[in-house]
Amino acid sequence: MKLQMKRYLSFFVVVSSVCLPWAVQAQDSAPIKANPEAARDKISMCIGCHGLPGYKASFPEVYHVPMIAGQGAAYIEAALKEYASGARTFPTMQAIALSLSEQDMADIAAYYAGNKP
């Protein structure tokens, strides 16, 4: 009887230690709220290409860099997701998009769309 009780208790400990982190994570995945203020730290790597006069970059060859400032947030976010998923292919943008979290994408999209926080 005593042993059974111990087993029951340890079962409970295992279950709760598995479920607790899950519950915390579930909270994390609540709907993403875009915060254009937070994007300021995240766009330093975009400026190198998307902030060039004439919007051209020269590596690995000269190519046109589209202007993203002022485009719709939904458009920018969708474009980043497409690069990340491979639906759109452009090597540098794909590498960059893959390094961004969904929160980063939402923040950056809101920032470039000119949304005020």
Contact residues: ligand HEC, CB under 6 A: 43, 45-46, 48-50, 57, 63, 65-66, 68, 76, 79-80, 88, 90, 92-93, 96, 108
Minimum Å gap between C-beta 31 and ligand HEC is 21
| Closer CB to ligand HEC, 12 or 102, in the complex | 102
* CA–CA gap between residue 75 and residue 100 (Å, rounded): 16
CA 91/CA 12 separation, integer angstroms: 48
- Report the residue number, 66 or 117, with the smaller CB distance to ligand HEC: 66
Distance CA 81, CA 88 (A): 9
State the nearest-atom distance from the C-beta of 48 to ligand HEC, in Å. 5
For residue 96, give the amino acid letter: I
What minimum distance in Å lies between the beta carbon of 111 and ligand HEC? 9
Respond yes or no on whether the N-terminal peptide bond of residue 60 is cis (omega within 30° of 0): yes
Query: Shortest gap between Cβ of 35 and ligand HEC (angstroms)?
Result: 15
| Alpha-carbon 13 to chain mean position | 34
